[in-house]
Amino acid sequence: MSGLTPRARALLDRAARGHEPTDADRTRIRARVARKVAIGACAAGAASATSKTLSAGTGSLLTKAVVSIALVGTVGVGASHWVTSKPEPQTHAMASAEPRAALERPGKEVRPKDAREVPEVPEVPEVPEVAEIPAPPAPSSSVVVTRKLAPPAPPPPKVPAIEPMAEPPVPAERVDPLAMIDEVDLLARAHEALARGDGPLALMLVEEHGRRFPKSAVAEERAAVRVFGLCASGRAAEAVREGSQFLEKHPRSPLAERVRSSCAAP
């Protein structure tokens, strides 16, 4: 048997196009993946982000970040669930949304051997296959973060039986770790991503920040971080445009000088 009959081939040709994703599918899934990765990045960096930002951050952010230290313990409890249930995600490029040109090697579509022309070889017994992709060992940093974030709780005090029962704790699976991270912390993580040179992640975190805190007290810093994130992502034209908007809107900002000295310099 050398191939499919024409009617079967016609059916495949007619139906196959319907399985193609739409642009909306592509954008929607990208946003979902980005959000999940952002959650993971926030959780993994919960222990270290604040201290690093304190040293690297700006003056106004510095003040606000100090306040956030008190929240780190709370954040850590929620975040530790994510860290322990998911391997530590890498923080590679996620935020740029420009369509890319085809990556395939030119001429790659020329098939050396068409699978439709299956050679008539004897039937061979199928052997059990081992197709599972071996999971890489859990990064040790995840374990460290988990321990830092969620120290063993002391044994609960004895409660007299007549006292009313406390509300049962919400299962950790229902808690969105991002929801427990306040606006300053989230921006601190964007700063940390910038410090690592991970512009796309910084942009993603800033975007999440804008979505969750549209009228944030740190909106000015957020706008500046976005400019720096665009620079770090190689999106200079957008950085210049948004940098100009920033300087126009916040000419006396303590961040104005940094914006002027970045790739966004007009």
Partner 1 sequence: MPLSVTAPRLVDDPSFPPERGEPQAAIHFDDVYSEYFAFVWRSARRLGVRPSSMDDVVQEIFLVVHRRLADYEHKGSIKTWLFGIVRRIVSQNRRTERRKPSHAGAKEATDLDVFHDPKTMSPHASAEQAEAMRLLDRLLDELDDDKREAFVLSELEEMTIAEISDAIDVNPNTVASRIRAARRAFESALERSEQGEAPAPRSERRRA
Binding site for partner 1 (CB under 8 A): 1, 3-5, 7-8, 11-12, 14-22, 25-26, 28-30, 32-33, 36-37, 87, 89-90, 92-94, 96, 99-106, 111-116, 118-119, 121, 123-124, 126-127, 129-133, 136, 197-201, 232-233
User: Is the Cβ of residue 127 or residue 153 nearer to partner 1 in the bound state?
Assistant: 127
Distance of closest approach, residue 21 Cβ to partner 1, in angstroms: 4
For 118, 119, 128, 129, the CA distances from 125, given in Å and listed in that order, are 17, 16, 10, 12
* 3 state SS for 156-183: CCCCCCCCCCCCCCCCHHHCCHHHHCCH
Nearer CB in complex with partner 1: 45/253: 45
Contacts of 75 (CB under 8 A, 6+ apart): 46, 149, 177, 180, 181, 182, 185
* Cα 122 to chain centroid, rounded: 49
**C-beta of 118 vs 179, nearer to partner 1:** 118
The minimum distance between CB 209 and partner 1, in angstroms, equals 19
Closer residue to partner 1, CB minimum distance, 89 or 243: 89
Q: How far is the CB of 251 from partner 1 (least distance, A)?
A: 31
What single letter denotes the amino acid at residue 156? P
Q: Which two tokens stand for residue 190?
A: 């964007």
Q: How far apart are CA 76 and CA 215, in angstroms?
A: 25
Pair of tokens at residue 191: 């700063």
Q: How far is the CB of 220 from partner 1 (least distance, A)?
A: 26
Q: Shortest Cβ distance from residue 66 to partner 1 (Å)?
A: 30
Nearer to partner 1, 102 or 161 (CB): 102
Nearest to 198 by CA among 240, 220, 228: 228
Smallest gap from Cβ 91 to partner 1, in A, equals 8
DSSP 35-72: HHHHHHHHHHTTTTHHHHHHHHS-HHHHHHHHHHHHHH
Q: Is 23 or 248 the residue whose CB approaches partner 1 more closely?
A: 23
